[in-house]
Amino acid sequence: MISRKVESFHDLVVWQKSHELVLELFKAKLSKKETESLASNIRSIATAIPTNISIGFKKRGKKPKLYYYRAALNSIQEISYLLLLANDLKLLKTYSELDDKVEDIERMLKRLIRSNSPTA
């Protein structure tokens, strides 16, 4: 068995299998209501990113700031997966553009977190 370095969640077999399961479940019964539900989830989670950044920015002290910045980073991970899911289900036409934006925001957010870390 050849082992490779895990560089992102895409490399985790458990993630790959769970993604396949979600695809199968959505394809099994994808009603208009479920499509709208996925879109609603994407919008809701996307809204949490700038919301948590703005809340964190106003907090005093590094720990409270980091809490909200990390919450925004968690939302980035969620949105990254949901966009991939929508793309794989052929529900999204602009995946590449959106994914590039998500990755750019993730890099900036990680820098923001590092700059506010106690060791920085």
Instruction: Summarize pLDDT for 74-108 with one digit per residue, the tens.
Output: 999 999 999 999 999 888 888 889 999 999 999 99
User: Domain 48-120: what homologous superfamily?
Assistant: 23S rRNA-intervening sequence (1.20.1440.60)
Kindly report the number of other CB atoms within 10 A of residue 65's CB atom: 21
Domain ranges of the chain: 48-120
pLDDT at residue 76, as a whole number: 93
**Global model pTM greater than 0.85:** no
pLDDT at residue 11, as a whole number: 77
Instruction: With a cut of 70, say whether residue 14 has pLDDT above it.
Output: no
* Mean pLDDT, range 33-60, rounded to an integer: 89
SS (H, E, C) the chain: CCCCCCCCHHHCHHHHHHHHHHHHHHHHCCCHHHHHHHHHHHHHHHHHHHHHHHHHHHCCCHHHHHHHHHHHHHHHHHHHHHHHHHHHCCCCCCHHHHHHHHHHHHHHHHHHHHHHCCCC
Instruction: With a cut of 80, say whether residue 1 has pLDDT above it.
Output: no
Instruction: Summarize pLDDT for 19-38 with one digit per residue, the tens.
Output: 786 777 666 655 677 788 88
Kindly report the number of other CB atoms within 10 A of residue 62's CB atom: 14
Instruction: Summarize pLDDT for 59-77 with one digit per residue, the tens.
Output: 899 999 999 999 999 999 9
